[in-house]
Amino acid sequence: MGTANEFLSRPSRPQFVWLREQLRDETVGGVLLIAAAALALIWVNSPWGDSYLALVSWQVGPAALGLDLPLGVWAADGLLAIFFFVVGLELKHELVVGSLSRPAQAVVPVTAALGGMVIPALIYIVINATSEGGSLTGWGVPMATDIAFALAVLAVFGRRLPVALRAFLLTLAVVDDLGAIAVIAIFYSDKFSLPWFLASIAMFALYALAQRQRWTSPWLYVPLALLAWYFMHESGVHATVAGVILGLLTRVRPDPGEQASPADRLAHRIHPISAGIAVPIFAFMAAGVDLRSIGITTAFAEPVALGIILGLVLGKPIGVLLGAWITATFTRAALAPGIAWRDVGAIGVLAGIGFTVALLIAELGFGDDLLRLESSKAAILAASLIAALLASAALTLRGRHYARIHEEESRDDDHDGIPDVFQQPPDR
């Protein structure tokens, strides 16, 4: 356990147990996500590519409710709402009982995350504002970090990464996702309808009341969630916003006699669905970059592609490292023993893997501009691959050091199932 002026210290045992469960689901989901994206990319550029495009654009749903939508839109608006509900649950946990619950501990990772959003966006804006044929529309694309993809890389090259650095990465990703959903809600929504929006607010209020009254019936919560999603969709604000809000409204502290809070129970049930089904299907629907018509050279020649690649590969690590270093300097916070600034930089490089949310913002920003949409998707894939390779190299170089820390964090000499580091006195 760290001191008050220390960051990237080992979390408490309850937080460690929660973190381990969250990261395990995300790691499995990351492998599925990569496989789904690879399948889409191969299919769309094969002789049968037109069948992939037909599948993504196939419209289903009740027309009377205005929900006769292409499958690609269902994946972005519907399945990703499940993903963002889990993000909301994770954020609520972090804010109430986790790493963001104490301002002194939260300030460094939060400012690192903000730096990792602002710098990539600025790089994109500068490149596209000064280039012929540039477009400022996609400035939000390089802001996002894909925790599932990043953890899939860790599963291979960073299995012994200290738990404090894993917690830091998760915090970065959660704050990133919150920032991305705010950007989507404010800048990438259209045709705003106040009555529909107020109707969704009413559903949120009923959900919060039900949580406060300790009502537990799914026959209440499921209709409320579906109505909140539908009203948000009809309001013009992107429907995934409803998922985050519902997650944030879910109670996270267990009552006396409760083994787990509603937020933890829901996360345990829904997280595997999100990581194992919702996100991979969205990746399959969104990652199919059709290079047959525009060609790979044309795709990467666009200023939007250059802005996204440099924003993710360079902007992310610079922003994360700069934000953390400046805040640590002004607050006189010190790195925990065993952690160096190069490790923070490696996490920043890993955060440059921007996939799921980046693809979503690209589709929202360039939906009708086929050339820029395909260019932005190709750039996201390329940048994520480059960031993954660079992060793998950085983690491998520190492998022996991480192995020593992992051995200390895993030692259980009394064989009681609890690592000994969580049973030491606070001064150790």
Q: List Cα–Cα distances, 355 to 23, 135, 141, 232, 416, in angstroms.
A: 17, 20, 9, 24, 40
**Residue matched to tokens 């559903």:** 203
**DSSP string of 73-95, one letter each residue:** HHIIIIIHHHHHHHHHHHHHHHH
Residue 386 confidence (pLDDT): 93
Whole-number pLDDT of residue 59: 92
Give 158's DSSP letter: -
Which helix (H) or strand (E) element contains residue 170?
Answer: helix 163-187
What would the two tokens of residue 104 be?
């002194």
Q: Is residue 7 part of a domain?
A: no
Beta-carbon-side half-sphere exposure of residue 394 (alpha carbons within 13 Å): 22
Q: Which residues 6+ apart lie within 8 Å of 87 measured at CB? A: 174, 177, 178, 181, 243, 244, 247
Determine the pLDDT at residue 17.
66
Q: Has residue 54 been placed in a domain?
A: yes
Q: How many domains does the chain have?
A: 1
pLDDT score, position 418: 62
Residues of the chain scoring pLDDT < 50: 1-4, 426-428
- C-alpha 117/C-alpha 250 separation (Å) is 27
Domain that holds residue 354: 14-189+238-410
**pLDDT tens for each residue of 57-114:** 999 989 888 888 899 889 988 998 998 898 888 888 888 877 777 777 778 888 999 9
Burial (0-12, 13-18, 19+ Cβ within 10 Å), 371: middle
Say what the pLDDT of residue 150 is: 82
CATH number at residue 286: 1.20.1530.10
pLDDT at residue 425 in the model: 53
Q: What pLDDT does 133 receive? A: 85
pLDDT of residue 18: 64
Residue 80 lies in a domain: yes
Query: Whole-angstrom Cα distance, residue 383 to residue 138?
Result: 15
Handedness of CA 291, 296, 301, 305 (dihedral sign): positive
335 part of a folded domain = yes
Q: Does residue 217 lie within any of the structural domains?
A: no
Q: How far is CA 19 from CA 23, 25, 172, 199, in A?
A: 6, 10, 14, 35
> By the 8 A CB rule, do 175 and 398 touch?
no
Whether residue 119 lies inside any domain: the answer is: yes
- Using alpha carbons, select from 346, 351, 343, 286 the residue that is nearest to residue 312: 351
d(CA 83, CA 90): 11
Model pLDDT for residues 256-285, shown as the tens digit of each residue: 888 888 988 998 889 888 888 998 999 899
Identify the pLDDT of residue 323.
Answer: 92
Taking CA 100 as the corner, what is the angle to CA 202 and CA 14, rounded to the nearest 5 degrees? 105
Main-chain dihedrals φ then ψ at residue 199, nearest 5 degrees: -65, -40
State pTM to two decimals.
Answer: 0.84
pLDDT at 319: 95
Query: Across the strands, what pairs with 413?
Result: none
**209 is a domain residue:** no
Is there a domain that residue 345 lies in? yes
**DSSP state for residue 60 in the 8-state scheme:** E
